Amino acid sequence: MPPVMSCLMIEKLPANQLPRPTGRMKTALIVGRIAFLVGFLSLLQPTTTAAFSSSSPANIAREALAMAITSSASSEFGPPEPPVAIFSDVDGTLVHYPEGNDKLFLLDNIDKAITIGKNNKILQLPASATGLQGVISSQTLAKCQEIRNSGSKLVLVSGMRTSTLLKRLPFLPLSDAYCNEGGGRIFYRVPLSKDVPKEDWPSFVVHPEVYDGATEEDLQPFALQEDMAWRQQMEQSDAAGTDGYIGVELPPQESSGDNNDPIRHVPLSDRVGALWDYAQDLSSQGFILDTNGYATCFRVNRKQQITPESKDNFERLLAGTVTCPPGISTSTNLGCVDFYPEDSGKNNWCVLILNA
């Protein structure tokens, strides 16, 4: 199991027992440190495209992030001071989904300010495409900002669809990069200078929500820049192609034409690319697929399998009796099964940064 995926396997040894690693071992240990810190972030939970010039902020951001993560490889082995970078999941780690009476309480007070404990306002996120209503605490947001203020890089890595990410950005911790669709799309935060007139700002700007403990600097608006080199890799015909991106670009598209018709996504039957060829095959077998708002992956959700045939098919997926064709990978996420190009995935993007 790659160390980046298993924070529970990281053990802290006394300094005098630590070896002096070289080469590949150093890289693995750096990834291990990052994995350990991902585990640490899971404790921070509540109680209950813009267009820019070719000196691309995306390239600059990727290089800066890579340098931060790999800089300790040339130093003596030991705990970095401060941690060079933290890669964190979102759902179930930073954002949580109340159940039972907690859920009913939030629904009854959805338009009211809710505080748990002292100075710990709870922010309710916009509902996801499947109707899930998540919350995040001010304490979580403040702790994440403390990590960044210490000099560490913070990267959010999630399987959420792009349309959901763009809606949630004002409520999520301020981060140096956002990797979603399970690794298929990457966006870098681009700070907006206070000296630039608002009329010169890009068309898509994120305005962070106010939370307890936030400073004026924490709430400064920012733009996004997609990593186009990574995107071009995903757009290859033997990967996801280009059709899935229509309707989930920056800035978010909400309507088309002069009559405010809903934005038109390319239907699955018309999408071209190895990923969508496989999706069409699964659909013909009776699987009910979720492609809405995804550009580089699709999801099979247990809850959406409503016929006996589709329910049986889902169990086949979980049992591993349905084999992916060459070039396609799969993983489980929040009780769902995700499919994406084999060059995508959370692990592969971390490797990209390490090798940048």
86: enclosing H helix or E strand: strand 85-88
Q: What percent of the chain has pLDDT over 70?
A: 67
The owner of tokens 């813009």 is: 50
Q: How confident is the model at residue 14 (pLDDT cuts 50, 70, 90)?
A: very low
Average per-residue pLDDT in the chain? Answer: 77
Q: Which residues pair with 187 in a beta bridge?
A: 178, 226
pLDDT score, position 119: 79
Please state which of the ranges 4-13, 182-191, 314-323 shows the lowest mean pLDDT: 4-13
Q: How confident is the model at residue 254 (pLDDT cuts 50, 70, 90)?
A: low
pLDDT score, position 75: 52
Over range 114-134, report the average pLDDT. Answer: 81
pLDDT score, position 55: 53
Structure tokens at 327: 């070039």
pLDDT exceeds 60 at position 255: no
Count of CB atoms situated within 10 Å of the CB of 91: 17
pLDDT score, position 53: 35
Instruction: Convert the pLDDT of each residue in 54-107 to its tens digit.
Output: 455 566 666 666 666 555 444 555 554 666 788 899 998 999 888 776 665 665
For residues 328 and 341, is the Cβ–Cβ distance under 8 A?
Answer: yes
Report how far apart, in Å, the C-alpha atoms of 78 and of each of 23, 33, 35, 293 are. 16, 10, 15, 42
* Cα distance between residue 247 and residue 293, in whole Å: 8
**What string of DSSP letters covers 91-108?**
BTTTBB---HHHHHHHHH
